[in-house]
């Protein structure tokens, strides 16, 4: 495994945790550059495995905006061979890293060693994996009795819904706009469509 230094404290937490649970065949690449229309993005972690490439992002609240980031991720999927990009909040990394990684392991088990998956299941808030389900934009777990919920966001080209492709196609219509501007245009379009439908 290859791991270079980064500056974010939450990245350091994941950099310390990941090697304990990932399959030995996974190469960890930190701050992986992706160029899109002359702008260089950097994935916090690229996980390179014989079965595919996966991105992992650390969402510190002060640095991230959901809709801007989701368009960024969709564009990265659109121009690379990365299969999926997962996003874990800084709070969850700081206090529930094993639970977050457990949900990710349930979604893409090939990335994790058998021992790593077993240890994550033991340390997770949701040991019962029947409570974990994946959709087009997240992996979540919900416990009905306690009303506990845990969510790891993702964009995944493997999903039949292909939500990421809708976002990527929309972004292509605005080559001169920033990700924030593209996200605003998408939100405004969705709001106009919703209001129009409401009054039909």
End-to-end Cα separation, the chain, in angstroms: 57
Give pLDDT, residue 194: 43
Distance in angstroms (rounded) separating the CA atoms of residues 191 and 196:
9
* Burial (Cβ within 10 Å: 0-12, 13-18, ≥19) of residue 114: exposed
How do the domains of the chain map onto residue ranges? 9-198
| Maximum C-alpha span of the chain | 57
Helix (H) or strand (E) holding 93: helix 90-107
How many degrees, rounded to 5, is the angle at CA 85 between CA 37 and CA 173?
35
Determine the 3-state secondary structure of 30 from DSSP: strand
Number of H helices, E strands in the chain: 6, 7
Q: pLDDT tens digits, the chain, 200 residues: what are they?
A: 444 444 689 999 999 999 999 999 999 999 999 999 888 999 999 999 999 999 999 987 655 578 889 999 999 999 999 999 999 999 999 999 999 999 999 999 999 999 999 999 999 999 899 999 998 889 999 987 778 899 999 999 888 778 999 999 999 999 999 999 999 999 888 554 443 333 33
Give pLDDT, residue 151: 94
**30, 44 contact by CB (below 8 A):** yes
**130, 137 contact by CB (below 8 A):** no
């Amino acid at each position: 495994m290859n791991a270079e230094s980064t500056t974010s404290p939450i990245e350091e937490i994941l950099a310390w945790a990941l090697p304990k649970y990932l399959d030995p065949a996974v190469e960890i690449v930190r701050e992986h550059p992706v160029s899109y229309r002359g702008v260089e993005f950097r994935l916090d972690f690229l996980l390179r495995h014989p079965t595919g490439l996966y991105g992992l992002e650390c969402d510190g609240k002060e640095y991230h905006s959901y809709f801007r980031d989701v368009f960024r991720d969709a564009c990265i999927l659109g121009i690379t061979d990365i299969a999926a990009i997962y996003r874990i909040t800084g709070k969850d990394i700081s206090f529930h890293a094993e639970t977050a990684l457990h949900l990710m392991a349930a979604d893409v088990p090939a990335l994790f060693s058998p021992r790593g998956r077993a240890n994550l299941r033991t340390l997770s808030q949701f040991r019962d994996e029947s409570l974990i389900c994946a959709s087009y934009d997240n992996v979540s777990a919900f416990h009905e009795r306690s009303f506990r919920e845990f969510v790891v966001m993702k964009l995944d080209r493997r999903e039949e819904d292909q939500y990421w492709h809708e976002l990527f196609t929309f972004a292509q219509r605005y080559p001169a706009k920033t990700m924030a501007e593209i996200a605003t245009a998408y939100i405004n379009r969705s709001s106009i469509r919703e209001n129009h439908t409401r009054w039909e």
